[in-house]
Structure 1
């Protein structure tokens, strides 16, 4: 696998360039990290040159096309990205080979959060596939650190090694898992509040399973089920659920999917058809999630929120869902979904109060198994 590394600084002693060189040093034999050195030779982008781009721009585009992923480290100048990295990306805006390219962003210092956010916004706007799990801020207190010093710091070595592992895993998973990693209208995993909460939940976790468990428990325990607590407003988008702290089971599943995807973990939506009262009609849909864990495959989890008689948990490979199927017309509906089904969106967007949702709960006909 080839990773193209781009530094947004032209300084000879740039900490960002040193970080990328450290990544190259730490890469196993299965990963080539190529640090592009020609960014300072790029002319300022001029659309009039698109018919005959200069040689350095062509070289850059060729390297981007041949790379499996990009890794960008860039400083912050006056609360913005550097002219170097912005000009580099400008030369790639009209380049088809950049679309859907997996990209990870390294931030050398927490002080550079303005540029980090702006860079991510630009990359997403350019249709890159941002590898959130591999896009981290390093806990470096000084910019006057070289490659050798970085490699002598166990914490930094561990973080950078993890970045390589997460990029490699994301590249392998993307073709099959891309629909379950993306951000959308209702699973808005790129919303700033979602990204911040996802990072907070992932902090200190050793692997994806630990992150998934923490995300699950947060949504199960900290986000109130709208009907259990009779809480308005009616939420549907993941970011709305997080901001208001409440949602029906479907909406809570949207938030859990978004938090997992923001951490680079494939997440899907799935549904059950359950009775509302014992073993007789009426019936309604119940929303839950499936998360992809490399050691277990797709694993269903239900974060609707526990209450007397409900005890859902995260204990792979065993499923411990909120509700069991108890009569012939109830059903675990087949398949997993990257997006909420129309009946759920309709219920959550066309009803104004939690009481109205309850009286218009979504349902679909049982399917043949």
Structure 2
């Protein structure tokens, strides 16, 4: 596996460049870490040259295209990313070989939180697959540490070795996870409002499990269930749910999936078939989510919103869903879907009021739909 490493600093004694070189030295035989050292040779990005880029920009694109993943370390200048790394990314904005590329970020100091957040937002906007589990902030005693000193620090060696392992695991799983990371009509994870909210929720989180928990709690607690509060409009797209602050369980699951995917965490849609009243018909679908967490695999969560008698929570590996299966005709439908069921979309788009949706709640008779 090849990892292309980019340092946003041109300084000879840059701690960011040193971290990338140390990571290269720690890489096992199965991983090749290649440092691109010519970012300083890139001219300022000019859209007029997009179809005929200068040789160094073309070389960067070729290296990106051939890499299985990327690792970026960049300093913070005046509360922003360095011009070096921003210019390099500008040359990749319209490059197809960068789209969906797995990218991890090394932040050399906790003080560089502004640049770290800005870099994440830029990468997500560019449709990179941000590897949150491998994106870490290090607490170094000084910015003037040599590579030999870094290699002599067991905690740093352990962290960087773990970064490489997480990148490798992510790249191996991506082909199967790609449908659960993409943006679509109803799970519009690249909508600007979704991207901004996802970044806000991820801020300060230590890993993807913490991000997933925060996204879950936001949708569960801050987005009102349409029927509980009798709120209009009827929402379906994730961005609509976020903007209006309300949605049925299905719509809320679309929003949670979008927020997770915007943070490069695989997320799908799940359904239960439940009774509406006691142990007899009618029945309807109930929408919830599955999130893929490296340490647990697929884990189901239910962000429909708590109320008396409903107490869903995020506590992996234990599932704590809103509703339990209580009679033989109720079902936990087994599939994890990348996109909403047709019956769900129909119910949410063909009716104008929450009352009308309630009268036409979707149902399926068989789990194979």
- Alignment TM-score, normalising by the size of structure 1: 0.77
Query: Partners in 1 of 2:367 and 2:157 — Cα distance?
Result: 53
Query: Partners in 1 of 2:136 and 2:342 — Cα distance?
Result: 35
1:191 to 184, 192, 195: 195
Query: Partners in 2 of 1:111 and 1:317 — Cα distance?
Result: 33
Query: Partners in 1 of 2:173 and 2:136 — Cα distance?
Result: 20
Conserved 8 A contact 1:279-1:327: no
**CA, structure 1 residues 349+292, in 2 after alignment: closer, same or farther (shift >3 Å)?**
same
Could you say which residue in structure 2 is the equivalent of 1:139?
139
1:336 partner SS: coil
Matched pairs, number: 363
Could you say which residue in structure 2 is the equivalent of 1:170?
170
Query: Partners in 2 of 1:346 and 1:136 — Cα distance?
Result: 42
Conserved 8 A contact 1:81-1:115: yes
Q: Deviations over 1:12-49 (max 9, x none)?
A: 01121122122223322221111111112223334555
Query: Partners in 1 of 2:316 and 2:226 — Cα distance?
Result: 27
**CA, structure 1 residues 118+305, in 2 after alignment: closer, same or farther (shift >3 Å)?**
closer
Could you say which residue in structure 2 is the equivalent of 1:366?
365
Query: Partners in 2 of 1:159 and 1:15 — Cα distance?
Result: 16
**CA, structure 1 residues 347+191, in 2 after alignment: closer, same or farther (shift >3 Å)?**
farther
Query: Partners in 1 of 2:241 and 2:195 — Cα distance?
Result: 12
Could you say which residue in structure 1 is the equivalent of 2:340?
340
1:269 partner SS: strand
Conserved 8 A contact 1:288-1:300: yes
Q: Deviations over 1:55-86 (max 9, x none)?
A: 32332222112110111112233333322222
Q: Offset at 1:336?
A: 1.9
1:148 partner SS: helix
**CA, structure 1 residues 223+139, in 2 after alignment: closer, same or farther (shift >3 Å)?**
farther
Query: Partners in 1 of 2:265 and 2:214 — Cα distance?
Result: 13
**CA, structure 1 residues 283+192, in 2 after alignment: closer, same or farther (shift >3 Å)?**
same
2:112 partner SS: helix
Query: Partners in 1 of 2:316 and 2:151 — Cα distance?
Result: 36
Q: Deviations over 1:120-144 (max 9, x none)?
A: 3333333322223323333346433
Conserved 8 A contact 2:202-2:214: no
Could you say which residue in structure 2 is the equivalent of 1:324?
325
Conserved 8 A contact 2:195-2:262: no
Q: Offset at 1:255?
A: 5.0
**CA, structure 1 residues 63+187, in 2 after alignment: closer, same or farther (shift >3 Å)?**
same
- Match runs of 1:1-369 below 5 Å: 1-49=1-49, 53-140=53-140, 142-183=142-183, 186=187, 188=189, 191-198=195-202, 200=204, 202-203=205-206, 248-254=248-254, 256-258=256-258, 260-261=260-261, 264-293=264-293, 297-304=297-304, 321=321, 322-324=323-325, 326-328=327-329, 330-333=330-333, 335-341=335-341, 343-344=343-344, 356=355, 359-360=358-359, 362-367=361-366
Question: What CA RMSD, in Å, does the superposition of the two structures yield over aligned residues?
Answer: 3.9
Q: Offset at 1:286?
A: 0.6
Unaligned 5+ residue runs, structure 1?
Answer: none
Unaligned 5+ residue runs, structure 2?
Answer: none
Query: Partners in 2 of 1:213 and 1:88 — Cα distance?
Result: 33
Query: Partners in 1 of 2:238 and 2:51 — Cα distance?
Result: 43
User: After the TM superposition, which of the residue ranges 3-12 and 213-222 deviates more from structure 2?
Assistant: 213-222
